[in-house]
A and B are shown apart, each in its own frame.
Chain A
Amino acid sequence: MNKKLIVITSIVVFSFILAVYTNLTESLGPLGLDTRFLGKLYVYFTNHEDLRLSTASLEPVTAIVWDFRGLDTLYETTVFAMAIIAIYSLFRIDSLEEKGSLNSSFTIIPRLVTKILLPINIAIASTIAFHGSISPGGGFQAGSILAVVGVLFVVIFSYYALNAKSINPHRTLLFMSLGLIAIVVVTLIPLAFDVFFDNAYLIQNQPKLDSAFGYPKRVGGLVFGGSIGLFNIFEFIAVSFGFLTAFALLSIPEHVFKEKLRGEESLE
């Protein structure tokens, strides 16, 4: 029998047994039919009418992810950015001097359909990002959907066609960094408010008992969710351009690497 198969099967079986064991022995806390107190609090205060207790977002998942444990998501975003920067530094290519063919090997049918689909894809991604505080979704999901645009473009046309549209890894990394900086600025604005005006806390969203600072709950009648809406938009920018950076770097032809990174041709 295949050795790999045995290893994979034993890992899966072991984790299943572990999960069943922890559930049966209740090692992670008692299992009950009632909703736990903390869970009730989360749902209750997601869209409470008293703004001092609420997150001002209609969507509990986004509210929990961004506001109840905002630091956690901040670190997740940081890890993502670190990964993208690591890829960028591994694939250290200054510029792509070579101009490859812009001709697609596909017929007119896939090319035309892709051209029709790209605006639809962008529209869907932005809708999911801007509706993050109303309906399920949010910045990360929207960014992942938008990054598909780049992959489609590379597959249907070519990497050089993407480059000809002046989308290159350097520029996308710049936009990702701008999105990340904007997230950090949103978390730091309350501190600036604290220094110059009144009492406020780091990553504060809505007014608290002893602090008047608050991001706008609604923008033009639409539920915006205060800092959650801003976070969603900037996370959308950061994630979409981060993924675009990774995809653009990965789709650089291999022979270009061989010349530039490993210096194989100069050795010969």
Chain B
Amino acid sequence: MNSEYVVFILSLLVILTAIINLIGVLGFYRFKNFYLRLHAATVSTIGGAFYPLLVLSIIAFIEKEHYIGVSLLLSAFLILLLSPTGTHALARATYRKRIAIPEPLIGDKIKEEEASS
């Protein structure tokens, strides 16, 4: 199989992640409250930063640019590690301080656990 076609398809995937990024940004501006906006921000960091870096690293390995490929993989790994951590810490702090009202609320596990204990 010709590697040029593979690179072309992978480049299309990178463009797709750019669209995901746009969706994330729109959500960040249009959603009503903090938790929903946090969700939109995570969409654009994982879909718009982690996946394109992964795809670009595959392209770099196909083009035999191993140094760039490894750097991209490392960056992707760091984003995968840091983005959910930051989101988790933000959401937890906001919930505990009762700054934002979670809405729409389907279930509240933390409250249930506090009530049961």
Interface residues of A (CB under 8 A from B): 106-107, 109-110, 113, 116-117, 120
Contacts and interface: CB of A to CB of B under 8 A. Distances in A.
A116 B82 CA distance: 10
A117 B84 CA distance: 14
Judged by DSSP, the binding face of B is helix
Interface string B35-68: 0000000000000000000000000000000000
A120 B84 CA distance: 18
Which 6 pairs, one residue from A and one from B, show the smallest C-beta to C-beta distance?
Answer: A113-B85, A110-B89, A109-B88, A110-B85, A113-B81, A109-B85
Most buried by A among B82, B85, B92: B85
Contacts of A109: 84-85, 88-89
B44 to A, nearest CB: 20
Contacts, number: 18
Nearest to B74: A120
A107 B92 contact: yes
Judged by DSSP, the binding face of A is helix
B81 A107 contact: no
B101 to A, nearest CB: 22
Contacts of A106: 89, 92
A106 B88 CA distance: 10
Contacts of B85: 109-110, 113
Given A110-B85, A110-B89, A117-B82, 5 more contacts: A106-B92, A107-B92, A109-B89, A113-B81, A113-B82
Interface string B64-100: 0000000000000010011011001100100000000
Contacts of B89: 106, 109-110
Contacts of A120: 78
